[in-house]
Structure 1
Amino acid sequence: MKFIKPYLVVVTTLLAVSCTSQKETTSLKDAYKNDFYIGTALSADQIEVKNAKEDSLIRKEFNAITAENIMKSMYTHPQKDKYDFVMSDKFVAYGEKNKMFIHGHTLIWHSQLAPWMEKIADSTEMKTFMKDHITTIVSKYKGRINSWDVVNEALNEDGTLRQSVFLKTLGEKYLVDAFKLAEKADPKAELYYNDYNIEESAKRAGAIALIKKIKVEGGKVDGVGIQGHWRLNSPSLEEIEKSILEYSALGIKVAFTELDITVLPNPWDLKGAEISQKFEGSEKMNPYPKALPDSIQNKLAERYESIFKLFLKHKDKISRVTFWGVHDGQSWLNDWPIKGRTNYPLPFDATLRHKKAYESILKLKKTKE
């Protein structure tokens, strides 16, 4: 019988423990650390660390954060002469404490406006509002917030400009002005135009024209945010890839800013994220109220795998991939476009367990190593 020295046993055991530990600590942010940021959108409760298990998951898996709601204008600027930075201060502090990339969402958006903003009808008053709003918020977090969605969802599906209160009062110039004001308030922050369905051809053409116009007229645009509210079978990988290439050709970064994949049927094959649209529910529209069947889990995993495979192919062009929510239970898709449904669009389920979709994303990196 061969004698094994005790110290060899100890070393071998330590190596085994080390390997096991390394395997267990694999996370999305670590796996993709040399490719692009892996982000998530945080709710108010998550920012305030109301749930320790959720917080542990967030810190382990993600290295970039976006505020899901609390930085929208109805919350940060509720009255003409009043700002409220209580929650946004906590959000930024959370990101700094955990050494995360911090993204500000959003400065100019037609939706979730404070009521007083919707009533602005005079161009001079609107100019004053925009200057005060953007300058105050961006200056306050100068050097602390890494990037901003300066303008959010300014386009219709056909690529024309949305008839928002900003367009009606100021015309197209509001787009250029917004980016100029943001740059002046924090020259080092990355500035993005963010929208949904801009991987679809008509809307993509409109977004490209919009970004070119802003840049030609002296506005600074560092990147485009493709929201990525997608479905199991659409948009096609070809359209997503074409979008990455065409936006990158403008000399800007490409981010996927609000990624989730609905597994539920949508009325009229609805696409995108127009939050004003609501529909009546039915059993047909809520087919998985208790759990997701394995067959759909597999389809979701395959979809995520194919998408991230494409992202890795173009990692030199992509700055960040952010999921819109930490887990399924938090997802806005449980209530949109039909209230009260149970959706399963993210890599983590409502109990915080990772799904096959999570494994499929990680697998792409493991097979390369």
Structure 2
Amino acid sequence: MYSNPLLLLLALLGPTAILAQLNVLARKAGKLYFGTATDTGELGNTTYYSILTNTSEFGQLVPSNGQKWIFTEPLQGVFNFTEGHIVTDITQKTGQLLRCHNLVWHSQLAPWVENTTWTAETLAPMLEEHVFREAREWKGKCYAWDVVNEALDEDGSFRESVFFDILGPEFIKIAFRAAARADPGAKLYYNDYNIESPGNKSAAARTIVKMLQDDGIKVDGVGLQSHFVVGSTPSIDEQIETMRGYADLGVEVAITELDIRLDLPANTSNLAQQKEDYKKTVGACMQVKECIGITVWDFWDPVSWVPSVFEGQGAATLYFDNFTKHPAYYGVVEALTNKTDGGKPGCKSRREAKRSKPSFP
């Protein structure tokens, strides 16, 4: 019946796969977007760009690097927003939502930030000015800002950084206050990794939200980076429980940097497991109404950050080098159409959910 092998494959995958476009399915399921990060280096590839700007596939974009401190304030008091506006300009043309990332992070700082000898009296106004100037630059254009990124260590304590070492937790309050003053219409997020399952770090992330709320400071969401490893991704029930824990504080949740790396080379077995891991992660968001959207941390393997950081690992995204789709793409499709395994919505309280903590590298 099917002389063309591609048609046979599509038939086996089913009609949903043939018509699958992730943002369309996410919106149909009641989510705000399915999006992707992107960076300037890949924008010259015409195939990549056509997928990136297909609003049926991706309804939201985030600059991977262009809004980080090293670009936006390379010298003290000298602001340069050119790199960050490259992705912004795309969203202005296509109508895609823009997530903005990030205002304060211990990494990718301009060298002067770490090389200056600070006191609390000098660092606090500098930090406030940086956040205010950058957030004001994008006023009215960002759906959300990742205001503070990765302020926690793995045990739930605060990470040592130029900001924490001088100002303590107050640096978080300074940043959120300044961002709210600069762009009161944007959603303001705390964003981190390994806060997707029950444990000390996710509890500490909730404490950050409560700290801000107790001081009357605007905080709207928690971003779950969700950089996972094939075979050790948290279970769907663990992710649901954790998302609901944040939602119980009255904030929204988003999966902000999803990728799931595997040990190379990719093969039938690890790609099948990757599909299941993507499926349960997106499926968790589908079952928590306060989880408003999913962003993958770029969608094409050759531009993923993973191989340069994790030796021997890669193939973490949804598209192979030749732009064919990983099986994981269709796992996402299944999750977006509510074909998830486990995690029955409404049938398990947070106290009843499993509390085992998965191992991370």
Same fold (TM over 0.5): yes
TM-score normalised over the length of structure 1: 0.82
Structure-2 separation of matches of 1:163 and 1:194 = 17
Residue 30 of structure 1 aligns with an amino acid whose one-letter code is: V
Residue 236 of structure 2 contacts residue 283 of structure 2 at CA under 8 Å; is this kept in 1?
Answer: no
Identify which range, 206-215 or 346-355, moves more after superposition: 346-355
Question: Identity across aligned pairs (percent)?
Answer: 31
Partner of 1:300: 274
Q: How does 1:143-222 map to 2 (within 5 A)?
A: 143-200=140-197, 201-222=199-220
Residue 167 of structure 1 contacts residue 174 of structure 1 at CA under 8 Å; is this kept in 2?
Answer: yes
CA distances 1:242-293 after superposition (whole Å, capped 9, x unpaired): 11110000000011101011112xxxxxxxxxxxxxxxxxxxxxx41xxx21
Q: CA deviation at 1:217?
A: 1.0
Change (3 A) 1:42 1:333: same
**Structure 1 position 328 matched with structure 2 position 267:** no
Partner of 1:359: 330
CA distances 1:63-98 after superposition (whole Å, capped 9, x unpaired): 111111111101111000211111212221111111
Structure-2 separation of matches of 1:79 and 1:356 = 45
Q: CA deviation at 1:22?
A: 10
Change (3 A) 1:165 1:295: same
Q: Which runs of 5+ in 1 are unaligned?
A: 1-20, 265-286
Q: CA deviation at 1:211?
A: 1.0
Partner of 1:55: 49
Residue 169 of structure 1 aligns with an amino acid whose one-letter code is: I
Structure-1 separation of matches of 2:235 and 2:336 = 23
TM-score normalised over the length of structure 2: 0.84
3-state SS of paired residue (1:207): helix
Residue 177 of structure 1 contacts residue 219 of structure 1 at CA under 8 Å; is this kept in 2?
Answer: no
3-state SS of paired residue (1:311): helix
Residue 39 of structure 1 contacts residue 65 of structure 1 at CA under 8 Å; is this kept in 2?
Answer: yes
3-state SS of paired residue (1:80): coil
Change (3 A) 1:22 1:343: closer
Q: How does 1:37-186 map to 2 (within 5 A)?
A: 37-46=33-42, 49-60=43-54, 61-120=57-116, 121-186=118-183
Structure-2 separation of matches of 1:238 and 1:22 = 25
**Which one has a bigger Cα radius of gyration?**
1
Residue 176 of structure 1 contacts residue 218 of structure 1 at CA under 8 Å; is this kept in 2?
Answer: no
Change (3 A) 1:209 1:353: same
Q: How does 1:267-306 map to 2 (within 5 A)?
A: 287-288=264-265, 292-306=266-280
Change (3 A) 1:252 1:299: same
Q: CA deviation at 1:130?
A: 1.1
Structure-2 separation of matches of 1:172 and 1:52 = 45
Residue 191 of structure 1 contacts residue 221 of structure 1 at CA under 8 Å; is this kept in 2?
Answer: yes
What is the Cα-based RMSD across aligned positions, in Å? 1.8
Q: CA deviation at 1:113?
A: 0.4
Residue 205 of structure 1 aligns with an amino acid whose one-letter code is: A
**Structure 1 position 228 matched with structure 2 position 220:** no
3-state SS of paired residue (1:238): helix
3-state SS of paired residue (2:27): coil
Partner of 2:258: 259
3-state SS of paired residue (1:194): strand
Partner of 1:9: none
Q: Which runs of 5+ in 2 are unaligned?
A: 1-14, 340-361
Residue 21 of structure 2 aligns with an amino acid whose one-letter code is: S
Residue 363 of structure 1 aligns with an amino acid whose one-letter code is: E
Equivalent residue pairs, number: 318
3-state SS of paired residue (2:314): coil
